[in-house]
Chain A
């Protein structure tokens, strides 16, 4: 009688019976960073910018989102590839390959843009919760505490699961936009066959387009996704799933951004003036039938809070990871606060400082929001240049992980477009009447 030795399952392995189950599960275990980085980018500033774009120009700027979809994907794919190949964050790689001076410069840019962006997140929480009847003095500190609590559990997996659920809550944007009955054939026409608004090319239009670019692809995303991929310890074999995750995230984020623009376009079509999304929520509710109006009002305000929460946790983590990588501290969500105190302190400082600034009375929040998006749009090309140089580093990555020539063509084209937009901005600021 012979005995057959059954192979032992590797520790921690999940057993499946069918190849398709293995494929699906392999994707699901790698899934997360791509969706989170993209959807967190639809943060409070994005809500405001997209709604303003819809409010000022109706459906006329939807085509910008379509153009930004491949740009989002190609840029973030490079980051995911670099993260998987090196197992390290973006800030660490810049320090190691370009030296301290460039590293500090990049880190300073990142921390400055991130901090300003965090202010806009808490500004949105303040506005939205005020619309729901909660005073900022209560809502802002409480949300700051909750955001610190979200990461302080010492478990990357727990944080990721919670944040993925928050990302999926953004599906509500589609329901909200549909309730406002957009003119679908016009939406499709303006998305695929764009036309200029009746005002023509003005300084405000250019400023808004740069702001949309700045909010759709932000510098923190490069740092966040690479650190997140390294934190999750994605393997070489996970690259195809990381790419799919990033693609799904890019498509989802652009669709959600489109829904936000449609909500803004409702104001444009009904001549509703507004200064911020929370005010718009109230104005829209006033012209809709009571039941729909109440739903849209509450949904928009809660979605604003959700957008701000997603943005805050991702941006603060991008800062804390980047600082930790450079300073050489323990910088991992796998560690408890007592094991990585400096990492958690940086995160908490980012959150509480931004929350504190928002409580300053008479802060011109809308100006801060738009300016942050423009600033992010300007910093982005330089961040992508470092990424591009790293992805062409044969000594580090070997031939397997470096960019292919077509990657380089696409990415240099993206950098050229972003630079062109930033130069147009500079000209517009220096010669404000040029486009008018």
Chain B
């Protein structure tokens, strides 16, 4: 990102990230999927069910607020 001055040249340089040489990043290549403990896997599944249920609740709430579910007699 920035090069230090040499003994002869007091100039400092800053390089914009888009102009710099690309770094070697952390890669998941060859790692496969993350190993999840059974409890974590169960928790994530429970989370998915919970989110689906909550989505339905919000839908109900929205329709109520918009008076779509109001019964007319």
Binding site for B on A (CB under 8 A): 4, 6-7, 9-19, 21-22, 25-26, 29-30, 85-88, 93, 96-99, 102, 105, 109, 156-157, 232-238, 334, 364, 367-368, 370-371, 374-375, 378-379, 382, 385, 389, 393, 395-398, 401, 422, 425-426, 429-430
Which residue of chain B is the closest to A6 with respect to CB atoms?
B9
Pairwise interchain contact B61-A385, C-beta atoms closer than 8 A = no
Pairwise interchain contact A85-B26, C-beta atoms closer than 8 A = yes
Binding site for A on B (CB under 8 A): 1-3, 6, 8-20, 22-23, 25-28, 31, 33-34, 36, 40, 44, 47-48, 51, 53-55, 57-58, 60-62, 65-66
What are 10 A-B contacts with C-beta separation under 8 Å?
Answer: A12-B16, A14-B14, A21-B12, A22-B2, A22-B12, A26-B2, A105-B48, A237-B1, A393-B34, A396-B31
Given A13-B15, A16-B13: A429 touches B34 (CB 8 Å cut-off): no
Q: Which residues of A contact B10 (CB under 8 A)?
A: 17
Pairwise interchain contact B28-A234, C-beta atoms closer than 8 A = no
Partner of A17, one of B12, B60, B65: B12
| Alpha-carbon distance between A374 and B59 when the two chains are bound, in angstroms | 11
Q: Which residues of A contact B58 (CB under 8 A)?
A: 371, 374-375, 378, 429
Partner of A14, one of B16, B34, B55, B62: B16
Given A12-B15, A26-B1, A232-B18: A426 touches B54 (CB 8 Å cut-off): yes
| Alpha-carbon distance between A288 and B6 when the two chains are bound, in angstroms | 63
Pairwise interchain contact A99-B26, C-beta atoms closer than 8 A = no
Given A7-B9, A235-B23: A97 touches B61 (CB 8 Å cut-off): no
Given A12-B16, A367-B66: A7 touches B6 (CB 8 Å cut-off): yes
Q: Is the interface of B mostly helix, strand, loop or mixed?
A: mixed
Pairwise interchain contact A14-B15, C-beta atoms closer than 8 A = yes
Contacts A86-B28, A157-B18 known; 18 new A-B pairs at CB < 8 A = A6-B8, A11-B19, A12-B16, A14-B13, A15-B12, A17-B10, A18-B12, A93-B28, A98-B34, A99-B33, A102-B44, A233-B18, A235-B20, A371-B62, A382-B51, A395-B31, A426-B54, A429-B61
Q: Which residues of A contact B23 (CB under 8 A)?
A: 87, 235-236
Which residue of chain B is the closest to A419 with respect to CB atoms?
B50
Q: Which residues of A contact B47 (CB under 8 A)?
A: 382, 385
Which residue of chain B is the closest to A234 with respect to CB atoms?
B17
Given A105-B48, A385-B47, A429-B60: A10 touches B15 (CB 8 Å cut-off): yes
Pairwise interchain contact A86-B57, C-beta atoms closer than 8 A = no
